[in-house]
Each structure stands twice: as structure tokens, then as C-alpha cells.
Amino acid sequence: MPYDQFTIEQIAGDMLPHATQSQIIATGFNRNHMINFEGGAIPEEYQNEYIVDRIEATSTTWLGVTLGCARCHDHKYDPLRQKDFYAFGAFFNSVPEQGLDGYSGNAFPFLQLPDKKQAEMKTALLKAIKEKDDEIWAAESAWEQHERQSSTSDIRSGLVAEYSFNDSLSNELKPASSGKVVNGKLTYADARVGRAAELSEEPQLSFGNAGALNSSSPFSISLWVQPKGPSGMTVLQRYEISPKTGAGYELAIDYCKKDTCDVIVRLRNSGPESGIEVKSKEGLAFSKWNHLTISYDGSGRAKGIQVFLDGRNVGTSVVLDKLPATSFDKGELQIGNKEWGTPFKGELADLRFYDRRIYAEEANELGLSNPLHTVLEIPKDRRTPEQTAWLRQYFAKEAGNPAEKQLAIDYTSLELGLKQLNGEIPSTMVMTEAEKVRGAETARPEEFGDHGDAGAGAAKTAAVLPVDRETHSDLVMAGFDEPRETYVLRRGDYRNRGDKVEPNTPAVLPPLPKDAPRNRLTLAKWLVDPGNPLTARVAVNHLWQMVFGIGIVKTSEDFGSQGDPPSNQELLDWLATEFIRTKWNVKAIERLIVTSALYRQVSKVTPEMLERDPENRLLARGPRFRLPAEMVRDNALEVSGLINSKIGGKSVSPYQPKGLWEEMAFGG
């Protein structure tokens, strides 16, 4: 294979039109770095380390430059900027991988390589699983509908607003009063069941006219809350003007004692001295999920407020009890208001408003929160894979009739068989762009790709990578609606972002074509462009080193100012141009070198030669250096007639000396 084609496939084989299986496998070159899955490690840190490895490996192998020296600051000796380092890394920053992965084998994305028998077995298993899945799906859907109608009707009575925070601020009952982010950026996280709004000191949310209540009418507020911030936080509030001058109400967290924080409920008429204020006698657990229900009977008295924590009536202490009839329909319902009090820091989930009183037994059911009911209330298309799997398991064990339970047992048995088979099928890590796997969450991941006869050796198209649900299906789309953005990292610290950069090559070298897309394929073609002054020289220098034991440039990994100058500049230039002229033919250059008079001369040395050139840099005599072990072995097998020229086969596991792989681990 010509060296330019080899380069393109190593760097971007997956991006070639109709990429074959072997071309995709070739991209594993830039995935064969150390991968961490140690508990306590930080994913973002190691995600960055993987990119750094690819920058250094690619720039050293093809360009012979020490670009890694520009990771923390501009290169001290060569004209390479820190910006060049991270712009070069941006080419490799769209791989849909995770910082911590590989605990169960190859890290995603990877390509399975089944033989003919394994491919047939897998196809049959997938077909059987799909058939069982369709049967269970139909039975489960009917059961879900019945369970939803029969199990939650009483708790939903009087429900006027509901915010499940399933990656949005929509009101499940009245879209007109859905929330919006006023300031900052809101993020979402996994809740006890379902999703949660994750609030720091930055986001401020407004829910418009939601929560319009009245002191003369009963109402209740129910929510899951996990406080994480300082004491004295306001969870939610609605005031006409402000807590000091206007009518309104608020739910707050008092100053914490040890690991608990008391709950404060305030209903106000025209200021802090006119209203109701009560404090719970037991507190919320700090940094843990708590269910909180506030029930008010409409009496206008402090004793009419009850606080339920995880379904238990914890009692209240009265701070203020002077509330005339007041309407709380002015202003907006707000969460995270910075102007009035300390904004809430923590997570909120399943916020509900009722226009009636919630009684003890109902609060108990809400507080105990049967996860089944909570999951059932989440639309199917918004459930996480974990929630879907949990619901399937619950249905199989607790809800189905005997026939349905047997169906689930058969399904589980098939999945276990598939998992076992997947463990036997060899795989290899590969590169692929985020766009290549986009949309995968809407299909069955294990059906992707061509699992044809891998043993036949034919070229196979693999436009999308086959990924298996049991190992990595949850990682296919995680966080990749768009390719990752790349930033200069000040002092090389992944936590200290500087300017955003786009994929680009070092400014000191020829630029990329103007209209070419900024991706790995363009980078690979740029590397082997005849106008690139480094690639051909670095390559022939490696070939020269393989034959003579030392390159024309002694520091074959460093062609910069701190590396050794060429022992013969004209020879290096001529070999590079000859390499390009022969269309990057490695064998032609090797033949040219080993058939030259220079290589075929005797290695006998005279005292005069030894004095003039002790290291034989000028090659006045034949080279004398030890062959690599692989060459010795291959030569011995060849002359003895025992060599097997067949490529491929099963892996072997020869004896390994103790500690051989320690340096392959981070921190080893």
C-alpha cells in the first residue's frame, strides 16, 4: 500500500466514501493509548489526556515535531504556538467517547469482528430477541395504561400544575404556564427517579402565572428537593413586589444544623409583619433527596399549614400568625431569584401545585413515591434507558400473568446468550465522528452495521459501527448533539479554558486548502500533500534508520531546532522527492537503499576511519547494528522453511515478564 494511502486510512479511514471494514480498523492507531476507568478519576481530565496523546502521536510520527512542548505554553525553541497545539487537537475531538471507559473491554466506539459462524449466531439471536421484545412491548403497553389510570387518579385530583423537569420546564397540564430561563444556563441531572433541574447560583427561572394561590382557599405544593448550597436559601417564591412590601408566599430552607435544614413556609399580605410563617420541627437531609409536601387548609391561620417530609407530618413551630384575607395572584412564580434572598442551590424534581388540601395518607403516598408511579408518569420517549429497563424488570416480576412472565424469562435468556456471544467476538477500538452515530438512540443499537462473513476476507462496507446494548449502547449519543468544542487550556489545565479554537494545522507550516472541511480526512490529505515539507522527509528518515541503525537526522522524532541537523541535507531532500515521485512507494525506496553501493560495502573499519567518524555517521563503512528480534525470528523461519506467510489468525498469549505492562497504565 502506498504510504500516502496508508496515512489517510490510519488518520481518517472511517471518513472515506464507502469505507471498508479494514479502513475503519486502521483508525485504531489513534485509539491505542492508555484508557482509564479507575474509580475516582475525573472523566473530563482523561478525555483531555486522550486528545493530547493523539496530538503527540500524530505530530511526531508524520511531522517529526515536538508539538507536545506547546501544551502549556508556546514552544520555547520552535515556532509552534500553544494555540497550534489545541487547534491540531480539535481534529481528534469529535470522537463520541467517554473520559472513563473500558472497564468491560474495549472502550466505545469499537468495531466487532465476528467470523461467519458468530455472525450467523448473532443474527439469529437478534431476530429472536426482537420477536420477544415486540410481544412484551404490546403486553407492557396495555399494562402501563391500566396501571396509570388505576394507581394515580386520586393523587392527581386537584392537580393544577406539574413540572417533571424531564429536560424541559414544560407544565405537563397547561403548556401556557411553562417555565423559562430568565438568567444563566439551566442544566438537568438524574433524579431519584426521572430527571431534575440542577440549580447553582446562576440560573433564574420564571413560571409566569403558575402557582396563583389564595389565602382563603386550600392549596398544596409537592416536590422532590436535594439542597446542596448554603443555609438560608429560598426554594421558590411568588411576590407581587418584594417580600418586604408586597403580598406573596415562599418556600425556604432555614439555616442548617449538622446535616439537616429546617423548612420555612411564609404567606404574606403586605410585608414581613403581616402574614403567616411556620418552621418545620424536623429538617431536610442535606445533599440527599427529600420529598416535601406543604398542605394548607385555607383557614388563614398558621395551624392550617402542615409540612410533610418523606410522607411524614413533621409538625411546625409558629413564628408569625397575622394574615388577613390575601390573594397571591400577582407577580410571577420564581425559582433562583437573586434579588430577594439567597438563591436556591441544589436540585428540584416533580414540582406540583394542587388547588386542594393534601391529606396525610396522600402525602404519605407521594412521599414514599412508588418509583413505578413516577416512571409511568414520564412519557415513553423521555425515559432514560435505565428507567425503561427497570420498568421492564418490574413488569416481568410483579405485574405480568404467568404467560407474560415466561415471555420475560425467555427474553432474558436470549439476552444473556447475546451477552455471552459478544464476549467471545473479537473487537477493536476505532475512530469515528460524532455525526456517524447520531440518531442511534432511536434504533436498536445492536442492529447497526454489516455483520457479514468476516472470515472470507472480502472488503465489507461498515458505514455505522455495530454497538451492543449490553456494553455501550448508553454511550452512543451521550452529549453529542454537536461535535465537542475545543479550547486553549491555560497552563494545560483541563479546568482552565481560554480561547475557543477551530481545527487547524500549525501556522508555521503550509495552510489547509481554503474551502476544505476541517476534519481528519482533510488533515490526512494535508499530511501527504507534496507541498508539505516534513512528511516525506520524516518518512524516508525512518526507512533509512531501519536499514542503517540511525537516521540521516539522528533525532528521528525531532526535526526541530533542538534535534540533530541532517548528516547529509541533500541526500535527505533527494530521497524525499524520490519518495513522492514514486507515488509514496515504500518498497521502492527500501529497494533503492539496500541495493545501493553504500549499503553493500563491507563493515571493516580501520583506525583512521574510527578516529575520523567513530559513530559512522558518514557511512564510510557498512553499518553494524543489532537487528530487531522480529527480524531475527523472521529470517530464521525463512531460511529453515518454517515461515507461515498467512496474515491474521487467532491471538496468542505468550509468557510475559512480571511488570511488563505497568508502564501502560496511568500512574504506572
Write the DSSP string, 245-272.
Answer: TS-EEEEEEEEEETTEEEEEEEEEEEET
Query: Residue 340: what pLDDT?
Result: 61
- Count CA atoms closer than 13 A to 15's CA, side-chain side: 24
- Beta-carbon contacts of 368 under 8 Å, excluding residues fewer than 6 positions away, are 310, 311
Of the candidates 13, 19, 49, the residue with the CA atom closest to the CA atom of residue 460: 19
Query: Residue 473: what pLDDT?
Result: 26
Query: Residue 243: what pLDDT?
Result: 63
Query: Residue 90: what pLDDT?
Result: 94
Q: Are strands 327-328 and 260-271 parallel, antiparallel or unpaired?
A: unpaired
Of the candidates 296, 291, 259, 260, the residue with the CA atom closest to the CA atom of residue 278: 296
Listed as ranges, residues in the chain with pLDDT below 70 are: 104, 148-154, 175-176, 193, 201, 230-231, 241-245, 337-341, 368-371, 373-374, 398-400, 434-483, 663-668
Q: What is the pTM assigned to this prediction? A: 0.60
Q: Angle, to 10 degrees, between the axis of helix 569-581 and the axis of helix 586-594?
A: 140
Cα separation, 53 vs 32, in Å, equals: 9
Query: Phi-psi bin for 461: left (phi > 0), alpha (psi -120 to 50), beta?
Result: beta
The one-letter amino acid at 337: N
Query: Residue 368: what pLDDT?
Result: 66
Q: Are strands 233-239 and 342-343 parallel, antiparallel or unpaired?
A: parallel
Cα separation, 520 vs 433, in Å, equals: 9
> What's phi and psi for 155, nearest 5 deg?
-70, -20
